[in-house]
A and B are shown apart, each in its own frame.
Chain A
Amino acid sequence: MSTIKTAVNRRSFLKVSAAAGGGMLLGFGWLSSCAREPETGLEIPESWTDINAFLKIGDNGVVTIMSPNPEIGQNVKTSMPMIVAEELDVDWQKVVVEQAGLDTEKFTRQVAGGSQSIRQSWKSLRTAGATARRMLMEAAAKEWDVPVSELTTEQGTIHHKSSGKSIDYGAVATAAATLEVPEEVELKDPKDFKIIGTSRKNVDAQEIVTGKPLFGLDVQKEGMRIAMIAHPPAFGQKLKSFNAEEVLNMPGVEQVFAINAAPEGIELQWSDTNAFPELVAIVGRSTWEVMQAKKALSVEWETAESPESSVGHEAALSELMDKAADEPARRDGDPGKAFQGAAKVIERTYAAPFLAHNTLEPMNFYANVTADKAELEGPIQTPASLRKTVAALLGMEEAQVSIMLTRMGGGFGRRLYGNFGSEAALISQKAGVPVKLVYTREDDMTQGTYRPAYKVKYRAALDADNNLLAFHVRGAGVHGSPVFENRFPAGAVAHYLAEHHDLGSNISTGAWRAPRSNFMAYAEQAFIDEIAEVTGQDPIDFRLQLFEKAQQSPVGENNDYDAARYAGVLKLVKEKAGWGKPTPGLHRGVSAYYCHNSYVAQVVDVEMQGSTPRIKKVWCAVDCGIVVNPDAARNQIEGGIVDGIGHAMYSAITFKNGSPEQQNFDRYRLIRNSEAPLEIETFFVDNGIDPTGLGEPSLPPIQSALANALYRATGQRIYRQPFVSENEVLG
């Protein structure tokens, strides 16, 4: 057990008050339909009592736990309430989960991003549950006139052992809510966890498999119109003029006008990254009718900045590979001298293209803007930033803007950037009607905010005995370098140099699942594999030696990893995959990477069927501290692996004259069912450390595990993504 001060979190609690009788704290309609066990169902309580911002308790013991963070498929809507329920000590079967809207008074960091939801909320969620439990116990102690220290709880019931009395939470909730919030509360010892660490089904699963409206695109409201936008077909262009007359007489079309989401004098947020603030908006009755008008609309665009191309990016990035940075990002020892005196130098360059996020649910948002308020609803990873921008654009106070969160049909970083939410608000304001803004797939794929194109050059110096003397990494990317100068193998090599280059562009880029790591893990771990081969060592042993060095005699400062945990996952995957015992016909690759505070090591087995690789199995060892919901966590790991394989193998956005050449899934290739691994087995390190990131860390390393396996299968190293266009053998 550990004690935690509640005071730090006090700001996030509701003023404690009992709900008025009959409690209308949530729409009851959905309650019966959302119970995970439709047969057993949950009685709707007569009244609810708010205990704090995270939970309310019904008089019959049913508990509603709010899920504060945006749900993008990372399953926080299940795992965050599990943490509250754990400390509250309640029967999970009696819990219903409700998605909270944006409320910066009650909640901190309502963001889905950086794999941080659980990590950053771990303490506050536990404290919320523990505080409520404590207050319920105090209320029972008062009623029975016994010291609170003599009470225990079990699954929503408070017991007093010596008198044999017991009472349910529901019966003392109202009394508890009138008590002072305790100064500090005790948190459970992780070894006493009953809910955390057990697999619980996705709380929305029943609704997902029956097609209930959960997503932003499913929002329907009284009087709502459909809105679409037209943005420039090429980066570097902007709106010149358009002819509304031609489409206004088309069936179902009501209004056509221009909007500007970045007018002068308006303060924008980092999350307003957007290459196309000036747009034409079309408002009408139905999606299909508005789509037809969008196709028919003639718009003149003008070139404001010179159009870019992938050929140009490639040349510019290559040029940077041969140029020393003005200032190194990190230098240990004397790398210049070490390379000069080396017996052998290995030099390799790796490249990757732009990628689109392509959430399967395209960007969309609902907005109803009237004279004195703006009601928004939709899929957004950063609702607090969106509210700031919308208020500024509409000329309102933030308090006049509300944002409800819908389940998101994927995020992957794209919905950190809320331009579509601002656009919906501007369109509703100008049109004077509530609108649902809908992007077509083509709008979505050509809008920008891409994972940027990257290039990185590695050099390794070996002495005559094949010891790694020096290591040099120089990286360049569109809108920033991908290199993490303090990550492995920094700290494990005596002479080390890391350099950044940045290539400017008029194409907008943004965070894409595991930013920078999604490229660096591929390049670094493929290069390490090559060094191991040149030195004649087993690729796992070679890495383990470097970790050993980083642990025993670390070089330099700020090494951003724990070498023992790193080595731990590598050893675990080595054992689980039976590394070193080759199976005829199967080709193996290994990789390990650290990002989002978590460690992942993977082994992959590939079989070649003609020119097509079949991924037979992936073993994945993960150290992300305490795992809240193991089966859901495995699902995240599996998703990251499939995502990593798919984008490394098949996907790219390329540009010609400023225009993306891929606009829909006919030309943008996403991984399909038959290309996914037949089996993925995940192993979590059980170390009791507070939870770290889970949604992203399995994606980066799989690309290099696969590249390394494909090398063994085809005899060809792969230096560029997507692999299918680079490797001569692969079909």
Chain B
Amino acid sequence: MASFTLQINGKPQTVEVAPETPLLWVLRDHLQMTGTKYGCGIGQCGACTVHLNGTAMRSCSLPVSAVGDKSITTIEGLSEKGDHPVQQAWLEHDVPQCGYCQAGQIMTASAFLANTPKPTDAQIEAAMNGNLCRCGTYTRVKAAVKTASAKMG
């Protein structure tokens, strides 16, 4: 057990956990922030995506001890009122079916658009390829990323 102070959504949070505990479970079990999802635990599905200093990361494969003082953004903190352009685009296209993968999709898309504001179709697919959607909302995901890009432009 060790003590870690993490910067999450702009607030410091201290947890007592084993150093190898993945950030995913620190968020979900210790901080009751369940917006970040578990899908595979091995970096294959993207359901657990968060931002680490603005970069999309798989929190299931990131030991809490590796976070250091980097700032973490989760779906709960992506925007204050749930109105980030990506979230708005997701609502406009009514993307979710079951909704389980969508926090991860949104976190991947928002980090991607921050670096690539005017992506090509191929860039969108490449960026979103790490996020599985078992319900098959991919066609809407592609469209919503484009809409979000237009909003951010």
- Which residues on A are within 8 Å of B, measured CB to CB? 38, 72-75, 199, 201-202, 204-206, 208-215, 217-218, 220, 226, 251, 286-289, 358-362, 407-412, 440-441, 631-632, 635-636, 638-643, 646, 664-666, 670-674, 676-680
Chain B, residue nearest A445 (CB): B40
Chain B, residue nearest A667 (CB): B44
Asked if B34 contacts A213 (CB within 8 A), the reply is yes
Asked if A635 contacts B42 (CB within 8 A), the reply is no
With known contacts A212-B35, A287-B29, A408-B98, A665–B132 Cβ distance under 8 A: yes
Chain A, residue nearest B25 (CB): A288
14 A-B residue pairings within 8 Å (CB atoms) = A38-B81, A72-B98, A209-B106, A211-B75, A213-B34, A215-B34, A217-B37, A287-B25, A409-B101, A641-B136, A665-B39, A671-B136, A674-B125, A676-B142
Asked if B135 contacts A639 (CB within 8 A), the reply is yes
**Given the complex of chains A and B, what is the CA–CA distance between A678 and B138 in angstroms?**
9
With known contacts A639-B97, A676-B136, A251–B1 Cβ distance under 8 A: yes
Asked if A226 contacts B34 (CB within 8 A), the reply is no
Asked if A643 contacts B136 (CB within 8 A), the reply is yes
**0/1 per residue, B53-73, Cβ < 8 Å to A?**
000000000000000000000
A660–chain B nearest beta-carbon distance, Å:
15
Asked if A209 contacts B44 (CB within 8 A), the reply is no
Within 8 Å CB of B29, what residues of A?
Answer: 226, 286-288
Within 8 Å CB of B41, what residues of A?
Answer: 440-441, 664
Asked if A360 contacts B132 (CB within 8 A), the reply is yes
Counting CB contacts under 8 A, is B114 at the interface? no
**Given the complex of chains A and B, what is the CA–CA distance between A673 and B129 in angstroms?**
5
Within 8 Å CB of B35, what residues of A?
Answer: 210-213
Within 8 Å CB of B97, what residues of A?
Answer: 73-75, 635-636, 639
Chain A, residue nearest B91 (CB): A205
Counting CB contacts under 8 A, is B12 at the interface? no
Within 8 Å CB of A641, what residues of B?
Answer: 136
Chain B, residue nearest A438 (CB): B38
A479–chain B nearest beta-carbon distance, Å:
24
Within 8 Å CB of B118, what residues of A?
Answer: none
**Given the complex of chains A and B, what is the CA–CA distance between A665 and B75 in angstroms?**
23
Q: A208, A636, A640, A673 — which one has the most chain B CB atoms within 10 A of its CB?
A: A673
**Given the complex of chains A and B, what is the CA–CA distance between A636 and B135 in angstroms?**
9
**Given the complex of chains A and B, what is the CA–CA distance between A640 and B139 in angstroms?**
12
Q: B37, B44, B99, B142 — which one has the most chain A CB atoms within 10 A of its CB?
A: B99
Known contacts A209-B106, A677-B139, then 20 further A-B pairs from the complex at CB < 8 Å, ordered by chain A residue? A38-B82, A205-B94, A206-B82, A209-B87, A209-B91, A210-B87, A211-B76, A212-B35, A286-B17, A286-B25, A409-B99, A410-B100, A411-B98, A635-B97, A642-B137, A664-B40, A664-B41, A666-B44, A672-B129, A673-B141
Asked if A441 contacts B40 (CB within 8 A), the reply is yes
B18–chain A nearest beta-carbon distance, Å:
7
Asked if B128 contacts A673 (CB within 8 A), the reply is yes
Asked if B28 contacts A665 (CB within 8 A), the reply is no
Within 8 Å CB of B125, what residues of A?
Answer: 673-674
**Given the complex of chains A and B, what is the CA–CA distance between A215 and B134 in angstroms?**
15
B63–chain A nearest beta-carbon distance, Å:
10
Asked if A638 contacts B137 (CB within 8 A), the reply is yes
Chain B, residue nearest A251 (CB): B18
Chain B, residue nearest A286 (CB): B29
Which B1-52 residues sit within 8 Å CB-CB of chain A?
A: 1, 17-18, 21-22, 25, 28-30, 32-42, 44-45, 47
Contact of A204 among B33, B36, B38, B99 (CB under 8 A): B99
- Which residues on B are within 8 Å of A, measured CB to CB? 1, 17-18, 21-22, 25, 28-30, 32-42, 44-45, 47, 74-76, 78, 81-82, 87, 90-91, 94, 96-103, 106, 121, 124-126, 128-142
With known contacts A287-B29, A441-B41, A670-B132, A73–B99 Cβ distance under 8 A: yes
**Given the complex of chains A and B, what is the CA–CA distance between A212 and B102 in angstroms?**
12
A275–chain B nearest beta-carbon distance, Å:
22
Within 8 Å CB of A220, what residues of B?
Answer: 32, 34
Asked if B136 contacts A639 (CB within 8 A), the reply is yes
**Given the complex of chains A and B, what is the CA–CA distance between A289 and B21 in angstroms?**
8
Asked if B94 contacts A631 (CB within 8 A), the reply is yes
Asked if A217 contacts B139 (CB within 8 A), the reply is no
**Given the complex of chains A and B, what is the CA–CA distance between A703 and B78 in angstroms?**
38
Chain A, residue nearest B33 (CB): A211
Asked if B98 contacts A210 (CB within 8 A), the reply is no
**Given the complex of chains A and B, what is the CA–CA distance between A289 and B106 in angstroms?**
29
Contact of B40 among A212, A251, A407, A665 (CB under 8 A): A665
Asked if A287 contacts B28 (CB within 8 A), the reply is yes
**Given the complex of chains A and B, what is the CA–CA distance between A215 and B82 in angstroms?**
19
Asked if B132 contacts A635 (CB within 8 A), the reply is no
With known contacts A643-B136, A679-B139, A665–B99 Cβ distance under 8 A: no
A618–chain B nearest beta-carbon distance, Å:
9
Asked if B129 contacts A211 (CB within 8 A), the reply is no
Chain A, residue nearest B102 (CB): A208
Q: A218, A671, A674 — which one has the most chain B CB atoms within 10 A of its CB?
A: A674
B113–chain A nearest beta-carbon distance, Å:
15
Within 8 Å CB of B33, what residues of A?
Answer: 211
Q: B76, B82, B130 — which one has the most chain A CB atoms within 10 A of its CB?
A: B82
With known contacts A639-B136, A666-B42, A673-B125, A209–B98 Cβ distance under 8 A: no
B103–chain A nearest beta-carbon distance, Å:
5
Chain A, residue nearest B141 (CB): A673
Asked if A635 contacts B137 (CB within 8 A), the reply is yes
Chain A, residue nearest B22 (CB): A288
Asked if A640 contacts B136 (CB within 8 A), the reply is yes
**Given the complex of chains A and B, what is the CA–CA distance between A212 and B99 in angstroms?**
11
Within 8 Å CB of A441, what residues of B?
Answer: 39-42
Within 8 Å CB of B17, what residues of A?
Answer: 286, 288
A218–chain B nearest beta-carbon distance, Å:
4
Contact of A638 among B39, B101, B136 (CB under 8 A): B136
Nearest first, the 6 A-B pairs at minimum CB distance are A211-B35, A642-B136, A73-B98, A409-B100, A211-B75, A676-B138
Within 8 Å CB of B91, what residues of A?
Answer: 201, 205-206, 209
Q: B1, B33, B87 — which one has the most chain A CB atoms within 10 A of its CB?
A: B87
Asked if B98 contacts A361 (CB within 8 A), the reply is yes
Chain B, residue nearest A629 (CB): B94
Contact of B134 among A74, A251, A358 (CB under 8 A): A358
Asked if B98 contacts A676 (CB within 8 A), the reply is no
Chain A, residue nearest B103 (CB): A211
**Given the complex of chains A and B, what is the CA–CA distance between A358 and B128 in angstroms?**
20
Q: B41, B82, B94, B132 — which one has the most chain A CB atoms within 10 A of its CB?
A: B94
Chain B, residue nearest A204 (CB): B99
Contact of B100 among A210, A215, A665 (CB under 8 A): A215
Q: B41, B129, B138 — which one has the most chain A CB atoms within 10 A of its CB?
A: B138
Asked if A664 contacts B94 (CB within 8 A), the reply is no
Within 8 Å CB of A289, what residues of B?
Answer: 18
Asked if A635 contacts B94 (CB within 8 A), the reply is yes
**Given the complex of chains A and B, what is the CA–CA distance between A440 and B75 in angstroms?**
22
Asked if A218 contacts B34 (CB within 8 A), the reply is yes
Contact of B74 among A211, A213, A632, A676 (CB under 8 A): A211
Within 8 Å CB of A211, what residues of B?
Answer: 33-36, 74-76, 103
Q: B39, B47, B106 — which one has the most chain A CB atoms within 10 A of its CB?
A: B39
**Given the complex of chains A and B, what is the CA–CA distance between A501 and B99 in angstroms?**
39
With known contacts A209-B102, A217-B38, A251-B18, A360–B134 Cβ distance under 8 A: yes
With known contacts A410-B135, A673-B131, A360–B45 Cβ distance under 8 A: yes
With known contacts A209-B82, A209-B96, A636-B97, A360–B34 Cβ distance under 8 A: no
Q: A288, A408, A671, A672 — which one has the most chain B CB atoms within 10 A of its CB?
A: A288
